[in-house]
Structure 1
Amino acid sequence: MADSDESGGRGLKSVERSFEIIEYLRQVDSSTLSETAEDLDLAVSTAHIYLTTLLKTGYIVKEGNEYRCSFEFLQTGGERRDEMALYQAAKPQLDELQEETGEHTNVTVEERGYSVQLYKSQSPKSIDDDASLGDHFYLHLTATGKAILSKFSEERVTEIIDRRGLPALTDDTITDEDVLREELKEIRERGYSINQGEHFPGVCAIGTAIVSEPDGALGAISISGPLSRITPERIEEELAPALLNTKNIIELKIRQYE
């Protein structure tokens, strides 16, 4: 989910075009020179210049006649993630929570009005939306996203809704702003959010924000699994207490890093 010129200022078209090509290769996995030129409406000679330049940087590679993104992005993103106190504190606790509950657990952060998945501890017994690390989601349709939104000011929520909208991925996605704001009030009172098939059909998740003063919501953690197992009774009696206990431990660990 890329945005063009979010600052509203002037940008270099060549840089923008380079990242358009990178995003294109990410989406299609691999592409030839002619395919890239045709799909991006570029002259073949122009596409060749961009691809050759990106090859020199190491951020794309060429295998036969196919171009694809390289693992440089893994190193860049991995280093950024590994330096985060939230990730360092959350990873071992989420592994424990996954073993305790038998369901997937994960941690996300907010960036540019999206929720970004940093880490997921997967249980062989459970299922979820099968999202990859680094995937970007709309905040209003995931448990972690709604938990993060619940910690934002009304003005910040308005800004994100105006910027990203409230698109639906399933029939259960909240697309009405008033309904969303009412749910955010309930999340603040309850301490955790619930996503019942709003992001992926048949999957339920509960989430809670990780808070650190004075930074506010650093991110959020969640437990997810099939709707048939993540029942209201189980949420109230087992999963919510376990999730909130894990939240407390993570927040205490983060304070030790400060």
Structure 2
Amino acid sequence: MSAGKPADSPRRIKSVQKASTILETVQYLEEPTFNRLCKELDVSKGTVHTYLETLEDEGLIIKSDGTYQLGFRLVTMGEAVRNQSDLYRAGQAEVEKLAEETGEWVHLTVEHQGREVTIYESSGDNAVATDYHHRIREAPQHLHHTATGKAILACFNDKRVRGIVEQRGLTGRTEETITDIDRLLEELERIRDRGYAVNDEEEVRGIRSIGTAIQAGSGWVNGAISVTAPVSRLSGKYFESEVPELVMEAANIIEVNLETADVEMRQ
């Protein structure tokens, strides 16, 4: 047993963990060449080469012109993950309806390992920053600076919130981002009181979002839904009451869809 490792610590397969790390590194590196991967992973070139060759054989990565990228086999895996999600099936139509009604970006998200993952989004006729919204779908985001993320955090107790912050930190994205745990806890209490969260230029300057959690009857949080738009459009009464009402209505309908689907499965 290694020093400092609890006796009841669950066993893990290190080769699987290493393969996962390599896939993530290929995903996030701007130019994932063999030498760059060896430097980032801090393991021997022989080990990296063996893993890369195996992952390429399995269709999980592709080598082209000396650089690596994720393989198309992962596309079908990702589609399967999303299509099997109860939240996606219950919320897809409402996301599209809300995007059409507001003309803006609408996101459906879940919490995974202390971060936020977008499982579906739809853009209305007036939606802006398309490239940015596509990029954030490719990587998990911090919870504390998005409307959906804060709405989800507000469903957790303070102990769990502190655990996530300890693990993931409170990275500042703009001068408006909350980077203090006590301020975050105060903000989460306000979210619980009013029923929705606000991202007021905390992630990107000039952009606001309104988000609310989607919960099961037991209080379990399934995910969250949000509307995102430029400050110039998401302001005044539209920002303070109209969009929050639309977002909370959409969340309520998704909750009903989830509940009725669960009832049908039990019958």
- Normalising by structure 2, we get a TM-score of 0.86
| Superposed counterparts of 1:225-240, under 5 Å | 225-240=229-244
Indicate conservation of the 8 Å contact 1:118/1:134, yes or no: no
| Deviations 1:193-234, CA, capped at 9 Å, x for gaps | 110111111110000000102251100000001111111421
User: Do structure 1's residue 251 and structure 2's residue 252 form an aligned pair?
Assistant: no
| Deviations 1:155-192, CA, capped at 9 Å, x for gaps | 22122122222121111000111211111111111111
In the TM superposition, what is the alpha-carbon distance from 1:33 to its structure 2 partner?
3.2
Q: Which residue of 1 aligns with 2:188?
A: 184
The DSSP-based 3-state class of the residue aligned with 1:141 is coil
Amino acid in the other structure paired with 1:217: V
In the TM superposition, what is the alpha-carbon distance from 1:249 to its structure 2 partner?
1.0
User: Do structure 1's residue 152 and structure 2's residue 153 form an aligned pair?
Assistant: no
Report the aligned-residue RMSD. Answer: 2.2
In the TM superposition, what is the alpha-carbon distance from 1:123 to its structure 2 partner?
2.4
Quick one: distance in 1 between partners of 2:163 and 2:34?
Answer: 40
In the TM superposition, what is the alpha-carbon distance from 1:42 to its structure 2 partner?
4.2
State the number of aligned residues: 253
Q: Which residue of 1 aligns with 2:265?
A: none
In the TM superposition, what is the alpha-carbon distance from 1:32 to its structure 2 partner?
3.8
Cα 1:64–1:178 change in 2 (3 A) is: closer
Amino acid in the other structure paired with 1:180: L
Quick one: distance in 1 between partners of 2:40 and 2:163?
Answer: 33
| Deviations 1:127-170, CA, capped at 9 Å, x for gaps | 25524424211111100011011111222212212222212111
| Superposed counterparts of 1:42-57, under 5 Å | 42-57=43-58
The DSSP-based 3-state class of the residue aligned with 1:195 is strand
Cα 1:249–1:56 change in 2 (3 A) is: same
Quick one: distance in 2 between partners of 1:242 and 1:92?
Answer: 14
Instruction: Extract unaligned runs of 5+ from structure 2.
Output: 1-7, 263-267
Quick one: distance in 2 between partners of 1:153 and 1:37?
Answer: 41
Quick one: distance in 1 between partners of 2:186 and 2:35?
Answer: 51
Quick one: distance in 2 between partners of 1:38 and 1:155?
Answer: 37
Q: Which residue of 2 aligns with 1:101?
A: 102
In the TM superposition, what is the alpha-carbon distance from 1:50 to its structure 2 partner?
1.5
Quick one: distance in 2 between partners of 1:167 and 1:63?
Answer: 34
Indicate conservation of the 8 Å contact 1:127/1:203, yes or no: no
User: Do structure 1's residue 193 and structure 2's residue 197 form an aligned pair?
Assistant: yes
Cα 1:176–1:38 change in 2 (3 A) is: closer
Q: Which residue of 1 aligns with 2:16?
A: 15
In the TM superposition, what is the alpha-carbon distance from 1:64 to its structure 2 partner?
4.6
The DSSP-based 3-state class of the residue aligned with 1:221 is strand
Indicate conservation of the 8 Å contact 2:210/2:228, yes or no: yes
Quick one: distance in 1 between partners of 2:205 and 2:136?
Answer: 17
Q: Which residue of 1 aligns with 2:111?
A: 110
Deviates more, 1:204-213 or 1:173-182: 173-182
The DSSP-based 3-state class of the residue aligned with 1:139 is coil
User: Do structure 1's residue 163 and structure 2's residue 167 form an aligned pair?
Assistant: yes
User: Do structure 1's residue 37 and structure 2's residue 38 form an aligned pair?
Assistant: yes
Quick one: distance in 2 between partners of 1:247 and 1:41?
Answer: 45
Instruction: Extract unaligned runs of 5+ from structure 1.
Output: 1-6
